[in-house]
């Protein structure tokens, strides 16, 4: 083992939510497959949910070790505590590994946790920021942080917003934190803090790929020089180069895969509407009602993920009235579901991970963003990549039954369905090409690995 002492060892520090753990853990697996020792350092509350071959798992503290964020209840309280306790325990982890067979070479940290870079610099090791949003969303926040663009004091509904190097945005297209900064001040502060010390990072990574957003990334490279290394989706659904990599290896919920897959086997190809709004989004009772009526009137089969806490919003007797047309579950394995031949449409909240999964698996989408960066992702799904449609909101911010029904029919078999399916196939192929050997993302990952190996060799000869 002594002979392996100078091999690189990278610690990955995610923000402890499903949508942030998954891509960082996937990046860890990519590096591990290339000979790098990879360790995921996550909070004591989430550490038990990680189970991935070849990836070590270590616990650090956010100060709320029993139940994490739900114990803190307030975002600002949680973030302050995580910074204080996380800095201390991460630093201890680096120190404890200093004289081991694999001392830590680099900390790859979720950009939501800029204090992890300070820990890296304190110990004289590299720090790499990992951004989990699209390159476009990161570019928007970067422009605001570096004051290369200023939002007007009041954003009018029909007034276009012209940001350098980006498509024309309207207020409905920009992240909700920007359009209504007073709505989630703690989260807006966290978004902006991503750039507080990023200029000191040795590497900046983003979960996207050149063919998808390379031009946008180049336009902001002077203020945000990110390398696109995505999509961070399990290898079995893309290039297949990581053996047995069929899932992320982290689940904060128990998926109901068998029930879903058994039901899907009874359905014809591309006949099922898959609906999921992720782990955090909560629809209003009115929006849930409009969705149920649209599904009933569509007479199409559907698989709808409704969390237990949300089921009370469904109209009475709706579940019983599905007559085999629908299946409602509290959770399921989204990748397995999207990859199933029965799925014809993905109704999504447009979180970036879900967007990349749908795109990587070539599934047409119906975009129903609810907050934050989802608004921007929805614009690209509909207008830029043309792999889905985005329903129109009424004056109360609700997508009505008639609009939902029209859009569902459009994606499943309407005038735009051929173009949407063709584009979805093309983007699926481009995603696979990017992460495969010699692809744009693979090259960027190899450059990082080569740099880590070189640094380790230099340390060896300096002794």
Instruction: Please give the angle made by the CA atoms of 276, 75 and 371, to the nearest 5 degrees.
Output: 35
Whether the Cβ atoms of residue 38 and residue 105 lie closer than 8 Å to each other: no
Residue 118 φ/ψ region, left for φ over 0, alpha for ψ in the -120 to 50 degree band, beta for the rest: alpha
Find the catalytic residue in 9, 20, 102, 143: 20
Cα distance between residue 81 and residue 71, in whole Å: 12
> What's residue 463's pLDDT?
59
> What's residue 356's pLDDT?
98
> What's residue 2's pLDDT?
40
Across-strand partners of 75? none
Cα distance between residue 430 and residue 425, in whole Å: 9
Cα distance between residue 139 and residue 153, in whole Å: 20
Kindly report, residue by residue over 34-63, the tens digit of the pLDDT: 999 999 999 999 998 998 889 999 999 999
Cα distance between residue 31 and residue 35, in whole Å: 7
> What's residue 352's pLDDT?
97
Q: What is the side-by-side strand order in the sheet with 301-305?
A: 326-329, 301-305, 272-276, 343-348, 365-367, 388-389
> What's residue 5's pLDDT?
56
Find the catalytic residue in 9, 62, 102, 110: 110
384: which DSSP letter? I
Please state whether the predicted TM-score (pTM) of the whole model is above 0.85: yes
50: which DSSP letter? B
Q: Using alpha carbons, select from 270, 267, 387, 276 the residue that is nearest to residue 333.
A: 276
Cα distance between residue 161 and residue 274, in whole Å: 33
Alpha helix (H) ranges present in 146-254?
Answer: 176-179, 185-193, 210-219
Indicate the burial class of 168 (C-beta count within 10 angstroms; 0-12, 13-18, 19 or more).
exposed
Cα distance between residue 32 and residue 95, in whole Å: 22
Active site (annotated) includes residue 123: no
Cis peptide before 149 (omega within 30 of 0): no
> What's residue 156's pLDDT?
64
Across-strand partners of 276? 348
- Set out the domains of the chain in order of their start, with CATH numbers: 9-250+437-462 (3.40.50.2000), 257-430 (3.40.50.2000)
Active site (annotated) includes residue 20: yes
Burial track 39-63 (b if 16+ CB lie within 10 A, e otherwise): bbbbbbbbbebbebeebbbbbbbbb
How many CA within 13 A on the CB side of residue 216? 22
Whether the Cβ atoms of residue 222 and residue 345 lie closer than 8 Å to each other: no
> 418 is written with which tokens?
């051929």
> What's residue 324's pLDDT?
76
Instruction: Chunk the chain into consecutive blocks of 10 residues (it has 463) and report each block's average pLDDT, rounded to whole numbers.
Output: 67 94 97 96 94 93 91 90 97 94 95 98 97 96 86 67 86 80 77 94 98 96 96 97 89 71 94 91 91 93 92 82 83 92 97 97 97 93 98 94 97 95 98 98 98 85 64
> What's residue 249's pLDDT?
83
- The helix (H) or strand (E) run that includes residue 87 is helix 75-97
Cα distance between residue 262 and residue 242, in whole Å: 27
Q: What is the side-by-side strand order in the sheet with 203-206?
A: 55-60, 37-43, 9-13, 106-110, 126-131, 203-206, 227-228
Cα distance between residue 305 and residue 347, in whole Å: 10
Indicate the burial class of 409 (C-beta count within 10 angstroms; 0-12, 13-18, 19 or more).
middle
């Amino acid at each position: 083992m002594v002979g392996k002492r100078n091999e690189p060892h990278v610690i990955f520090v995610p923000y402890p939510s499903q949508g942030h753990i998954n891509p960082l853990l996937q990046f860890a697996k990519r590096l591990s497959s290339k000979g790098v020792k990879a360790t995921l350092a996550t909070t004591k509350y989430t550490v038990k949910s990680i189970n991935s071959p070849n990836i070590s798992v270590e616990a650090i503290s956010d100060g709320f070790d029993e139940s994490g964020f739900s114990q803190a209840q307030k975002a600002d309280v949680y973030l302050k505590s995580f910074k204080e306790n996380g800095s201390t325990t991460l630093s201890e982890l680096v120190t404890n590994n200093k004289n081991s067979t694999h001392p830590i070479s680099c900390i790859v940290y979720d950009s939501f946790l800029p204090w992890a870079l300070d820990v890296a610099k304190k110990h004289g090791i590299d720090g790499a920021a990992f951004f989990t949003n699209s390159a476009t969303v990161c570019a928007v926040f970067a422009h605001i942080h570096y004051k290369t663009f200023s939002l007007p004091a009041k954003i009018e509904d029909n007034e276009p917003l012209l940001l350098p190097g980006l498509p024309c945005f309207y207020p409905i297209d920009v992240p909700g934190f920007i359009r209504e900064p007073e709505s989630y001040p703690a989260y807006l502060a966290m978004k902006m803090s991503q750039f507080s010390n990023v200029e000191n990072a040795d590497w900046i990574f983003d979960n996207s790929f050149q063919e998808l957003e390379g031009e946008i990334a180049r336009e902001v490279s002077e203020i945000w020089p990110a390398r696109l290394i995505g999509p961070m989706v399990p290898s079995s659904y893309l290039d297949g180069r990581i053996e047995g990599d069929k899932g992320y290896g982290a689940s904060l919920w128990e998926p109901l895969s068998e029930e879903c897959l058994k039901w899907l086997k009874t359905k014809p190809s591309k006949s099922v509407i898959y609906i999921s709004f992720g782990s955090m989004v909560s629809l209003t009772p009115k929006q849930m009602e409009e969705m149920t009526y649209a599904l009933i009137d569509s007479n199409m089969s559907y698989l709808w993920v409704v969390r237990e806490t949300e089921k009370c919003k469904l109209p009475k007797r709706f579940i019983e009235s599905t007559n085999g047309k629908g299946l409602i579950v509290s959770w399921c394995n989204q990748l397995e579901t999207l990859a199933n031949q029965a799925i014809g449409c993905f109704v999504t909240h447009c979180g970036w991970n879900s967007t990349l999964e749908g795109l990587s698996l070539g599934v047409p989408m119906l975009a129903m963003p609810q907050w934050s960066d989802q608004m921007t992702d929805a614009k690209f799904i509909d207008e830029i990549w043309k792999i889905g449609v985005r329903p129109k909101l009424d004056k109360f911010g609700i997508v009505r039954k008639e609009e939902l029904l029209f859009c569902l029919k459009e994606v499943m078999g309407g005038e735009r369905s051929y173009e949407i399916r063709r584009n979805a196939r093309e983007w699926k192929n481009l995603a696979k090409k990017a992460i495969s050997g010699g692809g744009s993302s693979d090259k960027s990952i190899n450059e990082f690995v080569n740099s880590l190996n070189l640094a380790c060799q230099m340390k060896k000869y300096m002794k």
